[in-house]
Structure 1
Amino acid sequence: MKKNILFSFLFIQILINAQFSGRNLSSEKWNFKNAKENNWLAASVPGTVHLDLMKNNVIPDPFKDENEKKVQWVENEDWEYQTKFTVSQKELSNQNIDLVFSGLDTFSEIYLNGKLIQTTDNMFRKWTIPVKQYLIIGENILQVKFRSAVNTGKQLAEKVPFTIPESPRSFVRKAQYQFGWDWGPRLVTAGIWKDVQLNFWNQAKLENIKIEQKTITRQKVELNIYTEISADNEGKYSVLINNKINTIRLKKGKNTILIPFTVNKPNLWQPNGWGTPNLYDVKITLQKDNKLIDKKSERIGLRTVELIQEKDEKGKSFYFKVNGKPMYAKGTNWIPGDSFSPRMPKEKYQKLIKDCKEAHMNMIRVWGGGIYEDDEFYKACDENGILVWQDFMFAGSFYPADKNFQKNVELEVKDQVERLQNHASLALWCGNNEIDEAIVNWGYQKQFKYSKEDSLQVWKDYNKIFYEIIPNAIQKYAVSDKQIYWPSSPSIGWGHQESLSEGDSHYWGVWWGEQPFEIYNEKVPRFASEYGFQGMPTLETTKSMFSGKADLNFQNGTIKAHEKHSRGWEIIENYMKRDYNIPKDFVKYNYISQLLQARGMQIAIEAHRRAKPYNMGTLYWQLNDCWPVVSWSSIDYLGNWKALHYQLKRSFENQVILTEEKDGILNFYGINDGLNAIENVTLEFEVNNFKGENILTAVSNKKQNLEGNIKFDSASISELIGDGDKNELFLNVILRGKDEKVIAETNYFFAKPKDLKLPKPHLTIRKISPTEIEVSTDVLAKDVYLIGDTHFSDNFFDLLPKASKRITLTKPLEKIEVMSLWDTMN
């Protein structure tokens, strides 16, 4: 029996190899050189020219010291890559041979055995080139010659009669953040940044699979599976969907075949916090005369996603309905995880998305100035129940709309829509990041002295790309009209009243406008898709900025170089003065800057969640970094959680109790983002001093069902604290369900952190096991900070008087340092 199974397996493998096979040319020996020089150096594919130059010790690591300045010459050079590979007589006997580049950055000419076979002009497109006629038996030479994207972009810009801001980046279809951002370095690179394949096929091949979820009920899901097949030979073929045979007839050339498929008793894909993100494997096999020709597989989730915009008395709603139920979106914005994307490992994608899941997020926005992410990113989102708001890669500038640009964009959209549309996590396609706002709000027309005709041309070009080319391409290449398209994020620019009453909002009155954090309580939009505040990275990541011994000094050039916002340090310090005592010690300053960032985002998130269902989404800026830097991220470049991410884990809980102070009155709101109401919930609170002495205890007699957003009660601050000093008291608030179970808990302080009269806590750490500790205190320990080279399950937390907390570690530590807010005030 086993021999028969083995023989069958080997026979099928032989048939597959006979009909369709591929070779990964990325693993061949590659070399590269400056086009001006003759000296070839070793290269890696996938890769970038900067990584190759570093490996050959031509340039220093631009992430270290102030080295970014030393490598700017690279962007102005042309670069050539080359490899040699052998082709056998058997391989050349295949009917068809395709050379496939999954990603070339950006302007290149491809030569095979000295013949120009393709030119490229888009980092985000896939290039498939029939090459059988150019190959020879034996050794073949493949060359890719890259032109400087900066110089080419400048040449394209000269053809436009007025100045387009951010030139030349607006003219090149490559990752816009490479040109520098207020959180990232300028590293305009080039290279073969994705795999290179040589594919052999005969008779026919599966080109693309598109799966439409036509109807979904509890009993069954009806799918339409579209298979695009290229056939060399017309005739009768078979397509198997999970081993179910469908007989089809193909004509020579391209064919699109529709095959209905039913899933009975489906388990729906649910977003994080609602249940399991169930996934199904769909295996598609192409056969002829019972011989296997080609196969593909897709992993899908069965779900519905709708964007609901309905007029109401306050404007127009903006929220996502998932599987027929309104979902409050809690999440973040994603930028590329590295300035050099090819070296981003799959494990880092998985970890960052799992960190989102652990912080109770259910949505992530892929920002439009980066890249369409690696398949591993979307796979991780599928598996962890994180919906994806996907921007197209246009950000913060004006873009041309000549015929070549239009066609280039259409084909870019085609490649990305066909690659990504089957992912369960994909919720929305968005045309761009902040371009509508840039045209209306940023004053470029005045700065560059536009004529009326110039300004009209900008709007005409904008409408052409984002209201015609992109949505028409989605409709053309996607499987159904259920693909959601949103032209620009935000839909209405910051500062316009309508930005708070409809659409999505990027509110930057905090940070850019330097308004106090408390303004978040007033500026609550329907859906907050961007807002944020900077904080320093962890000490470990700060030290990684140095090639040698770290000099942790604010006057150090390396520290200054790793803050890309021109007024970043000044803005942080201005905000810090409002809420905290400013430490002179670098380590303590680092700690306070993280607390400051977490405090600001907590105020914003709580304001948004209290406004549910008026507000139905809060996506802070930003999750991650592309290098070691002072930025808006909650997780730094090395993957360490900043204070903000620990706070997000608390603030994004499905059930929370939130306290709002208004005119001397505290209002208590219970929020439940879960699918089911929680019955018979009661509110209780205690006023205690920092030593743990009770001032007042109260329990609400009223029991309520916690569903959506419930205002539980109100209380006067003067009645709560009486003659007590508000700088020495805090409020502990608890929601309890049946059997006294704690549903949610929070602490509320009556004064800003800098005004609190904190007693000195005696913090003790007891080792329970190599990876578990217990932290305890005698009096209130505010913002307890555990320092050590490990990940702590909780950190930057308040520890109540005479209380203890168990913390798990990802790896054992011999020594753990600890401090609290008291240490920065004395």
Structure 2
Amino acid sequence: MRKSILFSFLFIQILINAQFSERNLSSQKWSFKNAKENNWLTASVPGTVHLDLMKNNIIPDPYKDENEKKVQWIENENWDYQTQFTVSAKELENQNIDLVFEGLDTFSDIYLNGKLIQTTDNMFRKWTIPVKNYLKKGENILQVKFRSAVKTGNELAATVPFTMPESPRSFVRKAQYQFGWDWGPRLVTAGIWKNVKLEFWNHAKINNIKYETLSLGEKQAVLVFKAEIFSENNEQNKTIVFLNEKSVAVLLKKGINFIEIPYKIFNPELWQPNGRGKQKLYDFEVSLKRGIDILDKKAERIGLRTIELVQEKDENGKSFYFKVNGEPIYAKGTNWIPGDSFSPRMTKEKYQKLIKDCKDANMNMIRVWGGGIYENDEFYKACDENGILVWQDFMFAGSFYPADEKFQKNVELEVKDQVERIQNHPSLALWCGNNEIDEAIVNWGYQKQFKYSKEDSLQVWRDYKKIFHEIIPNAIQKYASRDKQMYWPSSPSIGWGHKESLTEGDSHYWGVWWGEQPFEIYNEKVPRFASEYGFQGMPTLETTKSMFSGKPELDLQNGIIKAHEKHSRGWEIIESYMKRDYNVPNDFVKYNYISQLLQARGMQIAIEAHRRAKPYNMGTLYWQLNDCWPVVSWSSIDYLGNWKALHYQVKRSFENQVILPQEKDEILDFYVINDGLKTFENVSLEFDILKFNGEKKGSGGMAEVRTLESNGVLNFDSFSLEEIIGDAERNEIFLHVIVRDEKDEKVIAETNYFFAKPKDLKLPKPNIQIKKISATEIEIFTDVLAKDVYLIGDAHFSDNFFDLLPKTSKRIILSKPIENIKVMSLWDTMN
């Protein structure tokens, strides 16, 4: 009882002595209206005008049916938001009161009690406005008047003497994907898309904290924390700056003060990427105290690691790989787009789930694509906790951008805000200037399309150099710690039509899909680092059904399903590839299933080609992880969070230890990859040659045991296909391959290898049985090979779209109990 009383007393004392506080204005009652109208409607903050219109039943859900077309008028209107809030006499006694908007989308005028206090023009900036002189005791009225981003962008575009591609989005510092992409709808939003608050403070406040790792060894880590502190006046009394248990006394001068505090951690534990160790995180708090008064405090959670991008000339060109904590790391991962067209709908739970899904699929890196948003803090927190390195693009994508002085300054302040917010996360690996702008200027033919003069083309290149080779890297140097400044100007560094794209830098290889090359071309087009490549597949049946507001009509000719494919030739390309490798079903459910298998097959071929080439290739990031609405796309996880066949395949292909067979010129090679920390000293390889009914036709392998080094590749001797296949037909047999650690008598990796395309396999009909073990566990049996077993049910399955060997079983964990589970295999689509 006494402890409780003491705690309550101390807590009250802290509140009394605290010289700072804040009020969340997001939770106030907000209203909005079309600027042309007088009728105010209820609004939510954070939010967007589309969400508010939906909640007020003014527009239908744009994600359903073909409603996207019905809401395009919204982007051309101006929208007003307002709220009322009270301020007490006690609050007005504070020396300073700031109104802070963490995100405004995009062009707005802010009024407080009828007076214009700020104009905004950047969705990605934080706006801090001193408002003490505008506030009054009692009721205050806050208004934010948004102007149409499309109309304003067009006005800005008209000031340039030549036509810029993708106008007006190039002139608007807002999420570029909102203007429509080949996987996303056109939904150009407006609104208060992040939190808004009042901050009350006195004497001094902490603007920013960053830290630098000076040295990192087994016995100690030497850090320096750098606090940027703003002081109201030249202080007469010293302020104590606390960093956890350490403190320094400083005499603050009026304005900005930079305070450095050295700090040592003894016997430090490293933050490691997923698959390489634990993700140790350390908590720090920086606080300002003068006498008994706490002026301000900020908390940071950091991880101790070193990271560098290694580019060294070699006989093949130039390397491109990341070294983490002194060790080369093979980057396995994906590309991230915004998880919703309406970003305020992204919950902490959805961020955590999607990043956990990356970890569960054995990934260690994710690229935040430059056409979206700088993600919520929860995204980076989840990456820190799950060991997912972040390749962070700045938000510029696939167009030309202006570089007038106002635009330059706007970009610099955007970079400042985002660098200061993100840089302390241990998951941050690289800053990248943009997505595909260098390539767009050089390769996409815009200059010819829009009939540029020589001077126009030179101006575009000068503008590009100014923004991405001067403004952004200079801002990073200015605002980031020295060990957080790794910068890459553009991804890719060289377009996929140029041979150098395979010998240096990072590559976006789109010969598959855009070039309509066969999947097998991936075996030839292997770059040093594959940062983008992909193929489309349909979403799960559950997500497909969510496209409909009424009863779903699952038919490929249905206009609603067609409208949820944003690539102009998407259906045509999918079917063209499907005919090459699979029988094309007429039944919708089977077509959906095969489209997912097709996508998974293509990406498996690509990933395995990249991993076999290690260490020539040191990274593979497929396009893309997620969706922003229900759609046919390149994603491996659909909008509702369901794993497509691709994500299950990625999990298998990204295992730390894998066997990757390669067939070429009637020879079969076996590559064994080890991305793990352990060296296996007595490794053997063996395989059985099996008919689909389980009959064994023979066996083979290596009699000699070999060493599989940590972070290494082991290439076993070649085998003649004629020797393996013998008198059998290629489409009637397969290999079951095992790599074993003879010392521990454990299987390190196993795989199946087929000698014919899926459509040519002479599969017997499997008798698949499902046995319920518990409410959330089942066991699946088969008598003959069941290829690509597909479990259909309203739950997440621990494995799916897998091969089940003859006369074997597999146990599967369900995310929740379900009554009805349907099962299908490839045989069902061939008969």
TM range (shorter): over 0.9
The residue aligned with 1:58 is 58
The residue aligned with 2:224 is 224
Residue 68 in 1 paired to residue 68 in 2?
A: yes
The residue aligned with 1:470 is 472
**What displacement does 1:573 show?**
0.1
Q: Secondary structure at the match of 2:288?
A: strand
Distance 1:692 1:15 in 2: 77
Distance 2:74 2:9 in 1: 55
Residue 779 in 1 paired to residue 784 in 2?
A: yes
Q: Which amino acid aligns with 2:722?
A: S
Residue 754 in 1 paired to residue 773 in 2?
A: no
Residue ranges of structure 2 left out of the alignment (5+ in a row): none
Q: Which amino acid aligns with 1:749?
A: F
Distance 2:621 2:752 in 1: 24
Distance 1:679 1:276 in 2: 24
**2:17–2:292 contact (8 Å) kept in structure 1:** no
**What displacement does 1:481 show?**
5.2
Residue ranges of structure 1 left out of the alignment (5+ in a row): none
CA separation of 1:442/1:113 partners in 2, compared to 1, >3 Å: closer, same or farther?
same
Distance 1:479 1:115 in 2: 39
Superposition misfits of 4+ residues, deviation over 6 angstroms: none
Distance 1:217 1:810 in 2: 42
Residue 661 in 1 paired to residue 663 in 2?
A: yes
Q: Secondary structure at the match of 1:762?
A: coil
Within the candidate set 694, 711, 715, 1:692 is matched to 694
**2:78–2:148 contact (8 Å) kept in structure 1:** yes
The residue aligned with 2:794 is 789
Distance 2:77 2:537 in 1: 36
The residue aligned with 1:637 is 639
Distance 2:534 2:286 in 1: 44
Within the candidate set 515, 519, 522, 1:520 is matched to 522
The residue aligned with 1:145 is 145
Within the candidate set 483, 486, 489, 2:488 is matched to 486
The residue aligned with 1:100 is 100
Q: Which amino acid aligns with 1:717?
A: L
The residue aligned with 2:737 is 733
**1:669–1:713 contact (8 Å) kept in structure 2:** no
The residue aligned with 2:822 is 817
The residue aligned with 1:398 is 400
**2:213–2:483 contact (8 Å) kept in structure 1:** no
**2:150–2:169 contact (8 Å) kept in structure 1:** yes
Q: Secondary structure at the match of 1:618?
A: strand
Query: What does 1:426-465 correspond to in 2, within 5 Å?
Result: 426-465=428-467
Q: Deviations over 1:314-360 (max 9, x none)?
A: 00000000000000000000000000000111100000000000000
Within the candidate set 805, 809, 812, 1:804 is matched to 809
The residue aligned with 1:115 is 115
**What displacement does 1:740 show?**
2.2
The residue aligned with 2:270 is 268
**What displacement does 1:703 show?**
1.1
Q: Deviations over 1:25-79 (max 9, x none)?
A: 0000000000000000000000000000000000000000000000000000000
Distance 1:550 1:6 in 2: 57
**What displacement does 1:14 show?**
2.1
Q: Secondary structure at the match of 1:458?
A: helix
Distance 2:717 2:322 in 1: 29
Distance 1:815 1:398 in 2: 52
Within the candidate set 293, 296, 304, 2:295 is matched to 293
Distance 1:821 1:705 in 2: 37
**1:306–1:484 contact (8 Å) kept in structure 2:** yes
The residue aligned with 2:195 is 195
**What displacement does 1:474 show?**
0.2
Distance 1:293 1:678 in 2: 57
Distance 1:690 1:616 in 2: 36
Distance 2:65 2:484 in 1: 49
**What displacement does 1:10 show?**
2.0
Which shifted more, 696-705 or 386-395?
696-705
Distance 2:543 2:297 in 1: 45
Distance 2:194 2:67 in 1: 26
Distance 1:122 1:769 in 2: 53
Which shifted more, 804-813 or 245-254?
245-254
**What displacement does 1:163 show?**
0.3
Q: Secondary structure at the match of 1:588?
A: helix
**1:733–1:746 contact (8 Å) kept in structure 2:** yes
**What displacement does 1:5 show?**
3.5
The residue aligned with 1:764 is 769
**1:475–1:481 contact (8 Å) kept in structure 2:** no
Residue 618 in 1 paired to residue 620 in 2?
A: yes
**What displacement does 1:6 show?**
3.1
Distance 1:12 1:539 in 2: 55
Q: Secondary structure at the match of 1:250?
A: coil
**What displacement does 1:290 show?**
3.3
Distance 1:460 1:667 in 2: 49
Matched-pair identity in %? 78
TM-score w.r.t. structure 1 length? 0.99
Query: What does 1:571-590 correspond to in 2, within 5 Å?
Result: 571-590=573-592
The residue aligned with 2:280 is 278
Aligned pair count reads 824
Q: Secondary structure at the match of 2:402?
A: coil
The residue aligned with 1:506 is 508
Which shifted more, 292-301 or 539-548?
292-301
**What displacement does 1:245 show?**
1.9
Q: Secondary structure at the match of 1:10?
A: helix
**What displacement does 1:681 show?**
0.7
**What displacement does 1:692 show?**
0.4
**2:212–2:483 contact (8 Å) kept in structure 1:** no
Which shifted more, 673-682 or 751-760?
673-682
Residue 609 in 1 paired to residue 611 in 2?
A: yes
The residue aligned with 1:366 is 368
Query: What does 1:203-352 correspond to in 2, within 5 Å?
Result: 203-233=203-233, 234=235, 235-352=237-354
The residue aligned with 1:13 is 15
**What displacement does 1:482 show?**
4.5
CA separation of 1:107/1:584 partners in 2, compared to 1, >3 Å: closer, same or farther?
same
Within the candidate set 743, 749, 764, 1:744 is matched to 749
**What displacement does 1:555 show?**
1.2
**What displacement does 1:441 show?**
0.6
Q: Secondary structure at the match of 1:118?
A: strand
Q: Deviations over 1:690-741 (max 9, x none)?
A: 0101011124111111121110121111110100011110011110002320
Q: Secondary structure at the match of 2:482?
A: coil
Distance 2:441 2:630 in 1: 32
Q: Deviations over 1:738-786 (max 9, x none)?
A: 2320100000000000000000000000000000000010000000000
